[in-house]
C-alpha cells in the first residue's frame, strides 16, 4: 500500500517537474504558439502511458512490502513498449530530430542575426524532445534521474535567456516539487535495497499518535518547510554573494558568454541601426523612477527625452548623433560648434540653469515660482560615468542636482559626471505641453522660440544622396493640400500610424533598397525606430527640419510610490519637427498604445486591484532582482552596517544615560542613614535567598549536579509523582514509610497489614521500573496506577471514614 | 547495553549526486560571473542553499538518536545469531528519516539495515543476523548510523561508541554416536559395579567378609541360604576431557589442526553434558573441575573459546598424571602428535582427524 502510494506520488511529482521545466522553456518566447500546443498534449498522453510502462501490474517492492521484487525492467508488462521496434523507432526519430536541429542551427543564420541566440534555442528545443523521449521510453530508475536533470537544465536555460517575473513563481514551485520528488525518489531507491526494513515495528509512547508511515501529511509539510528555508537562504545568498561585474559593465571575456542567448537589446545607444534583424528583447531591468511632485494627477503619456539623431547614413542604414561637443560652465566651449544654448550655468551648488534662460532665473526659487515649468524628480538606478539628464517632452530648463557640472550637445541632450554604476537623483524643470497635464496653467507669457538659423536648418533637412525618389513622392502625396508644417507633420504621422505595421520581431533580412524602403513600400513591419525614421525622412523631403528623438516612453505607473517606473523595454524613438512659432515639437507615429491609453474593458476594471498588485510585484522584481548590482549590494551592506552602528550607539547612549541616572540617584541616597539600613537588610535578604536557593537546589533540579548524579532530577521526580501520591494516601491511613524502609519492604508491610492494600506492591514495582529502570509507563500501566490510587483515596470496606 | 548518544567519529561524504551538483554549481557560477545575469545568480544561490539545507536536514535527522544493542549471551562459532539494535528518536518534534544502522565489529563495518522513518519519540528495533567463523574474544565497537536524506547529496553519519566484548564459543559439531558407543558403554560398565550406593546391583550368597547388614533376610528365608543384597556404586558418570594444546610450531596448518581439536573437545564436552554426565576439562595449565549442566558447559566452552596453542617449552604435561581423572573416564584430545605415554586414558582422539565428525 505504502509502496503504491509512493510510486503514485513520485510519478505525479516527476511529471510536475517535467511540465514546469517545459513550461519555463515555452514561456521564454522562443517558441511560437503552435509548439506548446503540440508539446503539452504529448506530455499529457505520456503521463497516462507511463503507468502502463513502469509501474503497472507490479509494485516496485513486490507483492509484500517486505519482499523486494526483481527489477522493473523485468516487470515491464507493456508489450509495445518492450518491443525492439518501438525503441528503434524512437532512436531513429531522435537521430532525425538531432540532424534537423543541426541543420536549423547552421543554415538559417543570416548576416546581422546574433548566432548566440540560436545556440540556446536549439539546446532548449532538443531538451524538450529528449524529455518527451524519456517520458515515452522510461524503463528503469535511471530514467527518473534523466528526467530530473533535463528539467533542471531547462530551468537553467530559462534563467539564462529570460528575466521576466514569471521565472520567480516557476522557480519557487519547481523548488517545492523538486524537493518532494527527489526525496520520494530517494526513498524508492533505498527501499529497493535488500537491507531495507520497510515495516519495522515502531514503538511510540502512549498517546503520541506517531505514525510510522512514510507518506504522511507531516512529511509533505516538513518538505514544504524545508523548501521555504531554501528559498529564504537563496535570497540571503543572492543578496550577499559578491558580484564581480554585471552585464552592464562586461569584462572582456564576458562578451561571448554575455551575449549567449541574448536577443537584440533595447535601451539607450549612441546610434540607431536599422540594418539589423532579430527579436527585440523586452528587457525589464529598471532605468529610472520619475515623480511629478506638483501634479495631482500624473500625465497619461510622457516621452522621457534624452537626445536626438540628426544624420541618416543611407549606406549603413544608421542614424548618428551630432559630433559630440562637450561643453560646460567650466570647460571652454568647442571652437567648432558655438552653441551657448546648450550650456548649463551653475547658479548655486546644486542649481543649474540653461544658458538661454540664465538671465531669467537667478535662483531655484525663481524656477519654482514659474508655473510654466513642471518639476520632475528622477532617480537613475544605474549610471555610467556620464549620467544622462532626462526631461519630459522638451529639453530641460533648469536642473537641481548634486553634481559638479552639466554639459550639453547640439541635439539638446545633457550629461553630468557621476560615479560609475551608482544611483543619481536630480530634479528637472521643463515645459510640458498643456494638453498633456490636466491642471490649468497660466497663459503662456513666453515669446515664441526663435527660428532656426540657416546652418541648423541645413543640418536638420539634410537627406542622403542614395535615397530613392519614391520617398519624396510619398511625402507629397501624403501632405497634398496642406500648407502649414504642423499640419504636414500631423498628416505624415497619421499616414504612418495607419498604413505601416508594427512588430518587435524583425526576423526578415532587409532588402537591397534598405530597411526604410521595405518598411514604407514593401509592407514589411518595423518598430518605433522605423516609424520615427520614416517620419523624419518624409518631413525632410518636404523641407521641414526634423530629427529623430529618443529616450523612453511613459513606463509603468507605480500606484504604491506614485512614480513612473521606466524600464529598458520602454526605450522609444519618435520624431521632433521644428514648427515655426512652436519650436521643436514632438510627433510619435508609432501606433502601439501605451498601457495607460488602452481602453478599459469590464474585465480590466474587475481585475484592477490584481493588476496593480502584479505590477507592484513586477516592479519589485525588476528593481530588486534583475537590476541588483554590486553597487546596490554595497549600498545594502552600508545600510546594514549603518543600521547596526545606529542601534549600537542607541544602546550605548541608553546605557550611559541609565548609568548616569543611577549613579546620580545613588550618590544622593548613599549618604543617608536610611539607605545604609536598607543596604544591610537587603544584604541579609540576599544571603537568605541564596541559602534558600541552595537548599532548593539540593532538593530540586540541581541536586544531580550537587550530589554527583545520585539524586533523581526534576524529570525523574515528576515521573514518580504517583508514588509520592500513594505514600501520601497511605499516610492518611496511618501507614507511614519509615526512612529505613525500602519501597519494597514498605509495600510488603502494607500488604501484610491489610489484604485490600495488596495493590500497593504493584505500584511499587512500577515505581522501581520508572525510577530505577528508566522506563516509560505504558497506557495500561498508567491506568492500573490510576485505579489503585483511586481505590486508596476511597475508604476501605470496614472503614467508616478517616480516623 | 544501555542507550546512549555519545558520538565519537563523524562521517561526511559527498555522494555521486552531490559531486555532480557541486560541479554543476561551479558551471552555473561561472555562467553567472561571465554573463552578470542576476537570474543565473539566483539559480546558483538556489543550488547552494539547496545543498546547505540538505545537509542541515540530514543533521537534524541524525540528531538525538539513542541506541541500545542486545547481543545473545552465548554465541557459537559458525552458528548464526541475531543482534537486535534499538534506535530511539528522542526528538520532540522531528522524525528521523532514511537511517542506515550498522554495527562496527572488530573495526570493520558490518552490513546495515535501513530504517525509512523513525517518528519523534519512538523506537525501532532492527535485527542484524551475523555469523562468526572464528572462536575467541571479539568486540562490537560501536553503532554506525548514517543517512543520505533528503536527496542523497551527502552521506552524513556518526559512530556511536558502544564497545561490547563477546566471547564466541568454539564450533559444536554433532558427534557420531556409533563412534562414541564404545566410550559410552565403557563408562556405563564402570559405573555398573557394586558399591555402596542405593541402586540395586544384584543378589549373591553370603561370603565371609560380607557385612551382615546387607543380608536380605526375607530372601534368605525363602531360599534357606544366606543371601546378601549388592548395591551399585554411588558415583555419577564422570568424563574427564583432556585437551592437549601442545604444538611444536605454530603455523597455518598446525593452527588449523588446533582449531579442529578445539572443536572436537568442545563437542565432546557438550555431548556428555547433554547426556547428564559430569564433565571435567583439563587443558594446559588450567582445569575445570567436574560439574554438570549448562553452566558447566558454558564455562568449559568459554575456556575453549579463549584457549591458545602452546609450544613445547611452555607446555605443561601435568594432565598426564594418573590422579587427574578422579575416577572418571579419561579422554585425551591432542592436536599434532600422539603422546607416547597415554597413561590411564581410555580413549585418545586425534583432533585433526576427528574434529569434523
Q: A516: closest CA among A504, A503, A529, A507?
A: A529
Spatial distance between the Cα atoms of A530 and A523, rounded to a whole number of angstroms:
12
Size of interface A-B (CB pairs under 8 A): 172
Q: Is B117 on the interface with A (CB under 8 A)?
A: yes
Specify the pTM: 0.64
Residues 6+ apart with CB under 8 A from A541: A463, A471, A472, A474, A475, A476
Average pLDDT, chain B: 83
Question: Do A241 and B150 count as a contact with CB atoms less than 8 A apart?
Answer: no
Spatial distance between the Cα atoms of B152 and B150, rounded to a whole number of angstroms:
6
Spatial distance between the Cα atoms of A446 and A440, rounded to a whole number of angstroms:
16
**Does A624 or B300 have the greater pLDDT score?**
B300
pLDDT interval class at A450 (50, 70, 90): confident
Question: Do B150 and A230 count as a contact with CB atoms less than 8 A apart?
Answer: no
Q: Is B37 on the interface with A (CB under 8 A)?
A: yes
Let me know if A358 is exposed, middle or buried by CB neighbors in 10 A (0-12, 13-18, 19+): middle
pLDDT interval class at A705 (50, 70, 90): very low
Let me know: does A574 contact A536? Beta carbons within 8 Å. no
Pairing of strands B96-105, B113-118: antiparallel
Cα three-residue angle A592-A593-A599, rounded to 5 degrees: 140
| pLDDT tens-digit map of B146-162 | 998 888 888 999 888 77
| Residues forming a β-bridge with A574 | A549
pLDDT interval class at A361 (50, 70, 90): confident
Question: Do B37 and A202 count as a contact with CB atoms less than 8 A apart?
Answer: no
Q: What is the CATH number of the domain that holds A480?
A: 3.10.620.30
Q: Given its phi and psi angles, is residue A162 left (phi above 0), alpha (psi -120 to 50 degrees) or beta?
A: beta
pLDDT interval class at A349 (50, 70, 90): confident
Give pLDDT, residue A230. 92
pLDDT interval class at A716 (50, 70, 90): low
Mean pLDDT of all residues in A134-155: 85
| pLDDT tens-digit map of A309-336 | 888 887 777 787 765 444 433 333 333 4
**Which residues constitute the domain of residue A170?**
2-202+217-240
Residue of B nearest to A164 (CA): B39
Give pLDDT, residue A250. 39
Same domain, A502 and A588: yes
- Domain-ending residue, one of A597, A619, A648: A597
The string over A273-304, giving b where at least 16 C-beta atoms fall within 10 Å of a residue's C-beta and e elsewhere, is ebebbbbbbbbbbbbbbbbbeebeebbeebbb
**Does A460 or A285 have the greater pLDDT score?**
A460
Mean pLDDT of all residues in A218-223: 84
- Identity of the residue in B120, B123, B126 whose CB atom sits nearest the CB atom of A197: B126
Give pLDDT, residue A725. 86
User: Does residue A209 sit within a domain?
Assistant: no
- pLDDT greater than 70 at residue A148: yes
Let me know: does A396 contact A354? Beta carbons within 8 Å. yes
Same domain, A573 and A637: no
Q: Which of A509-523, A742-756, A789-803, B275-289 has the lowest mean pLDDT?
A: A789-803
Give pLDDT, residue B311. 77
| Residues forming a β-bridge with B13 | B155
Q: How many independent structural domains does chain A possess?
A: 4
Same domain, A435 and A548: yes
Spatial distance between the Cα atoms of A544 and B49, rounded to a whole number of angstroms:
62
pLDDT interval class at A85 (50, 70, 90): confident
Spatial distance between the Cα atoms of A120 and A98, rounded to a whole number of angstroms:
14
Domain ranges of chain B: 7-168, 195-232, 238-354
Q: Is B55 on the interface with A (CB under 8 A)?
A: no
CA distances from A616 to A339, A552, A597, A598 (A): 43, 20, 19, 19
Let me know: does B127 contact B102? Beta carbons within 8 Å. no
* CATH architecture assignment, domain B7-168: Sandwich (2.60)
- pLDDT greater than 60 at residue A340: no
Give pLDDT, residue B5. 47
Q: A595: closest CA among A552, A551, A557?
A: A557
Top residue of B66, B95, B109 to mutate, by most chain A CBs within 10 Å, is B95
pLDDT interval class at A647 (50, 70, 90): very high
Helix axes A141-161, B38-62, angle to 10 degrees: 140
Let me know: does B3 contact B88? Beta carbons within 8 Å. yes
- pLDDT greater than 80 at residue A702: no
User: In the numeric block, which cell numbers belong to residue A537?
Assistant: 525622412
Top residue of A60, A150, A163, A195 to mutate, by most chain B CBs within 10 Å, is A195
User: Does residue A798 sit within a domain?
Assistant: no
Give pLDDT, residue B340. 65
Let me know: does B235 contact B277? Beta carbons within 8 Å. no
Same domain, A61 and A161: yes
Q: What value of ipTM does the predicted structure carry? A: 0.75
- Identity of the residue in A196, A210, A226 whose CB atom sits nearest the CB atom of B119: A210
Instruction: Out of A47-51, A93-97, A792-796, give the one with best mean pLDDT.
Output: A93-97
Q: A552: closest CA among A564, A535, A562?
A: A564
Cα three-residue angle A45-A46-A52, rounded to 5 degrees: 105
Question: What percent of chain B is modeled with pLDDT above 70?
Answer: 89
CB count in 10 Å sphere of residue A351: 21
Spatial distance between the Cα atoms of A78 and A61, rounded to a whole number of angstroms:
19
Let me know if A161 is exposed, middle or buried by CB neighbors in 10 A (0-12, 13-18, 19+): buried
CA distances from B220 to A135, B214, B225, B228 (A): 106, 11, 5, 8
pLDDT interval class at A70 (50, 70, 90): very low
Q: Given its phi and psi angles, is residue B64 left (phi above 0), alpha (psi -120 to 50 degrees) or beta?
A: left
- pLDDT greater than 60 at residue A262: no
User: In the numeric block, which cell numbers belong to residue A285?
Assistant: 531591468
pLDDT interval class at A611 (50, 70, 90): confident
Same domain, A663 and A752: no
Spatial distance between the Cα atoms of A183 and B61, rounded to a whole number of angstroms:
14
Same domain, A6 and A52: yes
| pLDDT tens-digit map of B82-134 | 888 888 888 888 888 888 888 888 778 888 888 888 888 888 888 888 888 88
Mean pLDDT of all residues in A522-547: 88
Mean pLDDT of all residues in B58-62: 91
Residue A82 to chain B, least CA–CA distance (Å): 29
- pLDDT greater than 80 at residue A598: no
Same domain, A581 and A659: no
Give pLDDT, residue A801. 40
CA distances from A713 to A689, A699, A717 (A): 22, 9, 6
Mean pLDDT of all residues in A135-149: 84
Residue of A nearest to B92 (CA): A208
Give pLDDT, residue B53. 92
Let me know: does A428 contact A389? Beta carbons within 8 Å. yes
Spatial distance between the Cα atoms of A311 and A464, rounded to a whole number of angstroms:
8
Instruction: Out of A112-126, A271-285, A461-475, give the one with best mean pLDDT.
Output: A461-475
- Identity of the residue in A226, A237, A245 whose CB atom sits nearest the CB atom of B45: A237
Q: Which of A47-56, A408-417, A540-549, B95-104 has the lowest mean pLDDT?
A: A47-56
User: In the numeric block, which cell numbers belong to residue A733?
Assistant: 491511613
Residue B312 to chain A, least CA–CA distance (Å): 49
pLDDT interval class at B45 (50, 70, 90): very high
**Does B179 or A342 have the greater pLDDT score?**
B179
- Torsion angle defined by CA atoms of residues A367, A370, A372 and A375, in that order, rounded to the nearest 10 degrees: 40
End-to-end CA distance of chain A: give it in Å, rounded.
63
Give pLDDT, residue B34. 79
Give pLDDT, residue A717. 55
User: Does residue A422 sit within a domain?
Assistant: yes
pLDDT interval class at A634 (50, 70, 90): confident
Give pLDDT, residue A53. 53
Question: Do B150 and A226 count as a contact with CB atoms less than 8 A apart?
Answer: yes
Same domain, A223 and A355: no
The DSSP letter of residue A51 is I
- Identity of the residue in B35, B39, B48 whose CB atom sits nearest the CB atom of A254: B35
Same domain, A189 and A60: yes
Mean pLDDT of all residues in A575-598: 77
Same domain, A413 and A520: yes
User: Does residue A275 sit within a domain?
Assistant: yes
**Does A329 or A737 have the greater pLDDT score?**
A737
Mean pLDDT of all residues in A240-259: 52
Q: Is B112 on the interface with A (CB under 8 A)?
A: yes
Mean pLDDT of all residues in B70-86: 89
The DSSP letter of residue A442 is P
Give pLDDT, residue A629. 76
Mean pLDDT of all residues in A508-513: 71
Question: What percent of chain A is modeled with pLDDT above 70?
Answer: 74
The string over A453-472, giving b where at least 16 C-beta atoms fall within 10 Å of a residue's C-beta and e elsewhere, is eeeeeebbbebeeebeeebb
Mean pLDDT of all residues in A237-247: 73
Spatial distance between the Cα atoms of A303 and A391, rounded to a whole number of angstroms:
8
Same domain, A667 and A775: no
Question: Do A191 and B116 count as a contact with CB atoms less than 8 A apart?
Answer: yes
Phi, psi angles (nearest 5°) of residue A500 = -110, 150
Spatial distance between the Cα atoms of B336 and B354, rounded to a whole number of angstroms:
12
Average pLDDT, chain A: 76
pLDDT interval class at A1 (50, 70, 90): low
Give pLDDT, residue A691. 92
Same domain, A22 and A165: yes
User: In the numeric block, which cell numbers belong to residue B355?
Assistant: 574434529
Phi, psi angles (nearest 5°) of residue A527 = -105, -165
User: Does residue A158 sit within a domain?
Assistant: yes
Amino acid at each position: 500500500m505504502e509502496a503504491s502510494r509512493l510510486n503514485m506520488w513520485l510519478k505525479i511529482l516527476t511529471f510536475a517537474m517535467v511540465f514546469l521545466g517545459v513550461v519555463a522553456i515555452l514561456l521564454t518566447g522562443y517558441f511560437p504558439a503552435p509548439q506548446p500546443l503540440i508539446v503539452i498534449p504529448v506530455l499529457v498522453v505520456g503521463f497516462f502511458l507511463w503507468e502502463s510502462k513502469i509501474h503497472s501490474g507490479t509494485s516496485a517492492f513486490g507483492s509484500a512490502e517486505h519482499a523486494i521484487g526483481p527489477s522493473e525492467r523485468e516487470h515491464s508488462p507493456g508489450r509495445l513498449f518492450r518491443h525492439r521496434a518501438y525503441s528503434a523507432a524512437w532512436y531513429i526519430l531522435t537521430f532525425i530530430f538531432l540532424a534537423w536541429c543541426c541543420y536549423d542551427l547552421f543554415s538559417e543564420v543570416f548576416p546581422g542575426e546574433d548566432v548566440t541566440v540560436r545556440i540556446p534555442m536549439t539546446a532548449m528545443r532538443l531538451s524538450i524532445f529528449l524529455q518527451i523521449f524519456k517520458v515515452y521510453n522510461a524503463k528503469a530508475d535511471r530514467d527518473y534521474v534523466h528526467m530530473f536533470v533535463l528539467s533542471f537544465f531547462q530551468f537553467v536555460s530559462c534563467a539564462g535567456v529570460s528575466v521576466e517575473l514569471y521565472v520567480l513563481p516557476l522557480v519557487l514551485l519547481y523548488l517545492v516539487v523538486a524537493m518532494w520528488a527527489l526525496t520520494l525518489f530517494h526513498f524508492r531507491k533505498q527501499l529497493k535495497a535488500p537491507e531495507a526494513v520497510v515495516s519495522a515495528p515502531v514503538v511510540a509512547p502512549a498517546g503520541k499518535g506517531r505514525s510510522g508511515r512514510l507518506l504522511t501529511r507531516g512529511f509533505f509539510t516538513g518538505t514544504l518547510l524545508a523548501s521555504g528555508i531554501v528559498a529564504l537562504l537563496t535570497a540571503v545568498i543572492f543578496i550577499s554573494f559578491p558580484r564581480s561585474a554585471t552585464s552592464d559593465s562586461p569584462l572582456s571575456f564576458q562578451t561571448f558568454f554575455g551575449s549567449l542567448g541574448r536577443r537584440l537589446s533595447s535601451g539607450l545607444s549612441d546610434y540607431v541601426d536599422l540594418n539589423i534583424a532579430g527579436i527585440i528583447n523586452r528587457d525589464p531591468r529598471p532605468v529610472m523612477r520619475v515623480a511629478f511632485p506638483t501634479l495631482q494627477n500624473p500625465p497619461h503619456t510622457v516621452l522621457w527625452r534624452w537626445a536626438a539623431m540628426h544624420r541618416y547614413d543611407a549606406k549603413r542604414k544608421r542614424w548618428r548623433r551630432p559630433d559630440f561637443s562637450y561643453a560646460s560652465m567650466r570647460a571652454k566651449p568647442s571652437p567648432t560648434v558655438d552653441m551657448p544654448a546648450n550650456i548649463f550655468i551653475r547658479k548655486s551648488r546644486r542649481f543649474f540653469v540653461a544658458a538661454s534662460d540664465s538671465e531669467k532665473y537667478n535662483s531655484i526659487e525663481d524656477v519654482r515660482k514659474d508655473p510654466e515649468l513642471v518639476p520632475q524628480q528622477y532617480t537613475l538606478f544605474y549610471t555610467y560615468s556620464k549620467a544622462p539628464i532626462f526631461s519630459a517632452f522638451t529639453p530641460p530648463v533648469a536642473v537641481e542636482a548634486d553634481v559638479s557640472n552639466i554639459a550639453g550637445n547640439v541635439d539638446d541632450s545633457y550629461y553630468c559626471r557621476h560615479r560609475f554604476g551608482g544611483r543619481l537623483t536630480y530634479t528637472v524643470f521643463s515645459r510640458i505641453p498643456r494638453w498633456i497635464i490636466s491642471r490649468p496653467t497660466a497663459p503662456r507669457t513666453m515669446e515664441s522660440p526663435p527660428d532656426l538659423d540657416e546652418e541648423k536648418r541645413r543640418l536638420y533637412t539634410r537627406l542622403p544622396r542614395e535615397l530613392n525618389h519614391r520617398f519624396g513622392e510619398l511625402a507629397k502625396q501624403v501632405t497634398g493640400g496642406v500648407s502649414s508644417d504642423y499640419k504636414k507633420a500631423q498628416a505624415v504621422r497619421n499616414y504612418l500610424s495607419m498604413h505601416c505595421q508594427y512588430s518587435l520581431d524583425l526576423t526578415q533580412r532587409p532588402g537591397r533598397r534598405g530597411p526604410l524602403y521595405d518598411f514604407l513600400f514593401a509592407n514589411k513591419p518595423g518598430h518605433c525606430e522605423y516609424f520615427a525614421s520614416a517620419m523624419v525622412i518624409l518631413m525632410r523631403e518636404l523641407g521641414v527640419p526634423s530629427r529623430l528623438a529618443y529616450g523612453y516612453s511613459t513606463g509603468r505607473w507605480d500606484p504604491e510610490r506614485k512614480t513612473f517606473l521606466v524600464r529598458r523595454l520602454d526605450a522609444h524613438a519618435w520624431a521632433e519637427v521644428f514648427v515655426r512659432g512652436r519650436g521643436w515639437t514632438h510627433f510619435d507615429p508609432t501606433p502601439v498604445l501605451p498601457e495607460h491609453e488602452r481602453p478599459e474593458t469590464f474585465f480590466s476594471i474587475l481585475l484592477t486591484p490584481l493588476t496593480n498588485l502584479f505590477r507592484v510585484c513586477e516592479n519589485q522584481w525588476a528593481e530588486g532582482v534583475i537590476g541588483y548590482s554590486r553597487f546596490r549590494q554595497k549600498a545594502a551592506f552600508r545600510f546594514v552596517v549603518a543600521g547596526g552602528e545606529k542601534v549600537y550607539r542607541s544602546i550605548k547612549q541608553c546605557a550611559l544615560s541609565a548609568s548616569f541616572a543611577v549613579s546620580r540617584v545613588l550618590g544622593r541616597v548613599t549618604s543617608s542613614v536610611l539607605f545604609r539600613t536598607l543596604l544591610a537588610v537587603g544584604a541579609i535578604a540576599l544571603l537568605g535567598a541564596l541559602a534558600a536557593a541552595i537548599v532548593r537546589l539540593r532538593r530540586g533540579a540541581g541536586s544531580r549536579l550537587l550530589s554527583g548524579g545520585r539524586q533523581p532530577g526534576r524529570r525523574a521526580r515528576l515521573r514518580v509523582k504517583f508514588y509520592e501520591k500513594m505514600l501520601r494516601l497511605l499516610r492518611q491511613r496511618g501507614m507511614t514509610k519509615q526512612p529505613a524502609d525500602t519501597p519494597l519492604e514498605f509495600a510488603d508491610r502494607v500488604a501484610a497489614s491489610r489484604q485490600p492494600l495488596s495493590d500497593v506492591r504493584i505500584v511499587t514495582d512500577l515505581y522501581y521500573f520508572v525510577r530505577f529502570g528508566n522506563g516509560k509507563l505504558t497506557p495500561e500501566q498508567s491506568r492500573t496506577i490510576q485505579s489503585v490510587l483511586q481505590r486508596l483515596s476511597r475508604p476501605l470496606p470496614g472503614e467508616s471514614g478517616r480516623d | 547495553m544501555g542507550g546512549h548518544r555519545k558520538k565519537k567519529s563523524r562521517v561526511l561524504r559527498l555522494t555521486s549526486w552531490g559531486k555532480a551538483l557541486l560541479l554543476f554549481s561551479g558551471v552555473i557560477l561561472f555562467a553567472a560571473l561571465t554573463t552578470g545575469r542576476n537570474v543565473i545568480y539566483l539559480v546558483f544561490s538556489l543550488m547552494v542553499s539547496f545543498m546547505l539545507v540538505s545537509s542541515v536536514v540530514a543533521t537534524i535527522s541524525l540528531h538525538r538518536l539513542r541506541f541500545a544493542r542486545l547481543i545473545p549471551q552465548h554465541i557459537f562459532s559458525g552458528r548464526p545469531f541475531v543482534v537486535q539494535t534499538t534506535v530511539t528518536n528522542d526528538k520532540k518534534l522531528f522524525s528521523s528519516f532514511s537511517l542506515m544502522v550498522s554495527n562496527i565489529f572488530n573495526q570493520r563495518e558490518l552490513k546495515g539495515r535501513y530504517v525509512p522513518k523513525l517518528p519523534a519519540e519512538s523506537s525501532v528495533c532492527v535485527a542484524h543476523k551475523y555469523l562468526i567463523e572464528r572462536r575467541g574474544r571479539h568486540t562490537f565497537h560501536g553503532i554506525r548510523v548514517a543517512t543520505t536524506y533528503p536527496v542523497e547529496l551527502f552521506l552524513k553519519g556518526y559512530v556511536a561508541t558502544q564497545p561490547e566484548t563477546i566471547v564466541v564459543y568454539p564450533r559444536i559439531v554433532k558427534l557420531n554416536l556409533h563412534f562414541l558407543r564404545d566410550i559410552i558403554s565403557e563408562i556405563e560398565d564402570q559405573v555398573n559395579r557394586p558399591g555402596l550406593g542405593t541402586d540395586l546391583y544384584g543378589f549373591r550368597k553370603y561370603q565371609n567378609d560380607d557385612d551382615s547388614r546387607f543380608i536380605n533376610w526375607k530372601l534368605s528365608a525363602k531360599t534357606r541360604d544366606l543371601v546378601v543384597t549388592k548395591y551399585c556404586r554411588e558415583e555419577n558418570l564422570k568424563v574427564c576431557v583432556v585437551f592437549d594444546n601442545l604444538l611444536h610450531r605454530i603455523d597455518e596448518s598446525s593452527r588449523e589442526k588446533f582449531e579442529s581439536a578445539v572443536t572436537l573437545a568442545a563437542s565432546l564436552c557438550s555431548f556428555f553434558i547433554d547426556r547428564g554426565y559430569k564433565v571435567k576439562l583439563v587443558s594446559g595449565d588450567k582445569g575445570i573441575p567436574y560439574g554438570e549442566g549448562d553452566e558447566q558447559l558454558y564455562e568449559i566452552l568459554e575456556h575453549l573459546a579463549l584457549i591458545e596453542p602452546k609450544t613445547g617449552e611452555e607446555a605443561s604435561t601435568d594432565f598426564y598424571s594418573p590422579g587427574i581423572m578422579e575416577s572418571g573416564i579419561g579422554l585425551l584430545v591432542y592436536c599434532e602428535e600422539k603422546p607416547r605415554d597415554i597413561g590411564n586414558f581410555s580413549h585418545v582422539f586425534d583432533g585433526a582427524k576427528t574434529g569434523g565428525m
